[in-house]
C-alpha cells in the first residue's frame, strides 16, 4: 500500500495542504528553522498553481514566447508559535488578490487548532525576459472556479 504525495485541496475556496515536519526542517534550537516555513508555504503555492492548470516544469521549458514563471516579490511572516519534529501541520492558503500580472496570498500554518505562522506573499508572473506579463487566461479562469471570492 503506497500513497500519492500529499497535494491538498480547496475547502470553501481555502487551499489546505497537510505535511509532516522532518529532521531536515529543524535546527539545534529544537524547533523548525525560520526559513523553512517558506519552503512549506511554497509547496502549497506550487500545488495551487497545479490545480489552476499551471505545470511549472512544462512552462519553464516552453518555447521562449510562451515561457512564464512566477517570482515572489514580497513576503511578510509573523512567527506565532514554533513547530517541532514530527508535527503534522497544515498550510491554509487564501488568494486575496488576482490582478493582471500578480497574485497575492495569505498563507497561515496551523497545528490542530493553533496557528503557528501567519504570512502574506505577493508573486508576479514573468515572461522569459523576467518582465511582468499577464497571467494566462486559462489560469485566471481555473482560479475563479476554485476560489469563489470576488477578487
User: Pick from 28, 11, 4, 32: which is nearest to 89 by CA?
Assistant: 32
112 sits near a second copy (criterion: CB under 8 A):
no
Gap between the Cα atoms of 40 and 67, Å rounded: 25
Positions 42 through 101 that interact with a second copy (CB under 8 A): 42-43, 46, 55-57, 60, 69, 71-79, 82, 84-86, 88, 90
From the list 12, 25, 27, 113, the catalytic residue is 27
The site map against a second copy for 1-40 (x = CB under 8 A) is xxxxxxxxx-x----xxxxx-xxx-xxxxxx-xxxx-xx-
Please list the residues that pair with 15 across neighbouring strands. 10, 93
Q: Is 108 a catalytic residue?
A: no
Please list the residues that pair with 94 across neighbouring strands. 106
Q: Using CB under 8 A as the criterion, which residues of the chain lie in contact with a second copy when the complex forms?
A: 1-9, 11, 16-20, 22-24, 26-31, 33-36, 38-39, 42-43, 46, 55-57, 60, 69, 71-79, 82, 84-86, 88, 90
Amino acid at each position: 500500500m503506497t500513497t500519492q504525495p500529499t497535494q491538498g485541496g480547496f475547502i470553501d475556496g481555502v487551499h489546505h495542504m497537510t505535511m509532516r515536519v522532518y529532521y531536515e526542517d529543524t535546527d539545534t534550537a529544537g524547533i523548525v528553522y525560520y526559513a523553512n516555513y517558506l519552503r512549506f508555504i511554497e509547496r502549497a503555492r506550487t500545488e495551487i498553481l497545479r490545480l489552476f492548470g499551471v505545470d511549472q516544469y512544462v512552462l519553464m521549458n516552453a518555447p521562449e514566447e510562451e515561457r512564464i514563471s512566477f517570482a515572489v516579490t514580497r513576503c511578510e511572516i509573523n512567527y506565532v508559535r514554533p513547530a517541532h519534529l514530527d508535527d503534522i501541520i497544515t498550510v491554509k492558503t487564501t488568494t486575496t488578490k488576482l490582478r493582471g500580472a500578480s497574485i497575492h496570498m495569505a498563507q497561515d500554518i496551523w497545528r490542530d487548532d493553533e496557528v503557528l505562522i501567519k504570512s502574506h506573499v505577493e508573486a508576479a508572473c514573468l515572461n522569459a525576459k523576467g518582465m511582468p506579463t499577464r497571467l494566462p487566461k486559462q489560469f485566471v479562469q481555473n482560479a475563479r472556479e476554485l476560489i469563489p471570492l470576488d477578487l
